[in-house]
Structure 1
Amino acid sequence: MRKSIQKWAYALVTCAFALALCVSFSACSSDDDSKGTDGIVPVLFSEFDGHYSVLYPLGLTNESVFVNISETLAGQQIDLTKPGDWAAGGSFVGGGPYEYDEHFFQNGSYVYLRKTGDHEIEFRFKYVWKDKSGVKTKEGSYKGKVTIQKDIIDKLHLQGYTAN
């Protein structure tokens, strides 16, 4: 039971993080600096309770990938058909997050996530899953800057938002 609650807690933290990011992008462009977004990028990364989480948008498609792994798995290619301290999902696979016990992912599915700096990650994924129309595959990678929770909070404070 605890693992199920923990899984949804991570998803909730990530959703709150994403909502704050959306609010931070709603500012008028006239008050932005020359960088346009004050360093806010759409790839969200968080460290929480010994886990790394990333929410990665797939271009302008309204699709995204979500991954949560134990810090001890960082820098390793994680086979999503094997047990481990991970959860993965995405808008194109019906949400999630899915864990090993759900046997959602098929052979060939993996994620790789590691921090390369304070605000930088390397991330790769390949999801293979079955649905009504057969076996589907989606893969991608990202290496670069990320937005962390502190970046969003700082941006919101600059825009005059305060927690009451």
Structure 2
Amino acid sequence: MSARIRKATAAGIVAAALALTGCTASGWVPQAPPAAGSQAELPSRDKARNVLFVVDDKGKGVLIGTLTTVDGTQLQALHYTPEKPDGSKGQPQIVEVSKELRPGKALRFEEVPVQVSDPNLSAGHLATLELKLSTGDIKFDVPVYANDHQDFKDVWAEATK
């Protein structure tokens, strides 16, 4: 194979690889920002998506995000442990909630609603969240946002009616 054909083949492979990566020349699209919350899932195909806390300056607020299931599950409770401003963990809190999710359905936490209150829940920090499901527990860190954040003003207004 001649050097010319090798170079053309290599250039074609590089061009195809770049085209197939899904990269765009335009970059960031403001109308479609990435999700603000955290994601986690179980092998049983129960998934928590875009989960976060929205709180006021006293630590009172709501949990928002979505829990989905393929085969069905029961949300039995949730536990959260806020991160203190010094980085240490606060006291674990328990929210009793009982919601059944039928196969192929989703639950939006803000529709339950899941109310929280802990002075250590403060914007800019994390909280460890554990969703207690009949199919297993999902444990992950989620961000805490301020209630006056522009992305969550509507959710906050709805939650505090």
TM bin, normalised by shorter chain, reads 0.3 to 0.5
**TM-score with structure 2 length normalisation?**
0.33
Q: Which structure has greater helix proportion?
A: 1
Q: Compute the TM-score of the two structures, normalised by the length of structure 1.
A: 0.33
Whichever of the two has the greater Rg, that structure is: 2
Higher relative contact order (CA 8 A, sep 6+): 2
